[in-house]
Amino acid sequence: MTRHGHPPAVLLSAADLESLQETIH
């Protein structure tokens, strides 16, 4: 994901993770 300009999952905040999960679902 880093090659797409996104930070590693480790650096993602809880809010970002929730946003990603909403997009996946």
Please report the pLDDT score of residue 2 as a whole number.
54
Amino acid identity, position 23: T
Query: Considering the entire predicted model, what is its pTM?
Result: 0.33
Tell me the DSSP string of 1-25.
-GGGTPPPGGG--HHHHHHHHHHH-
In tens, the pLDDT along 1-25 reads: 456 666 665 666 777 888 878 887 7
By residue range, what is the domain housing residue 4? 1-25
Number of domains in the chain: 1
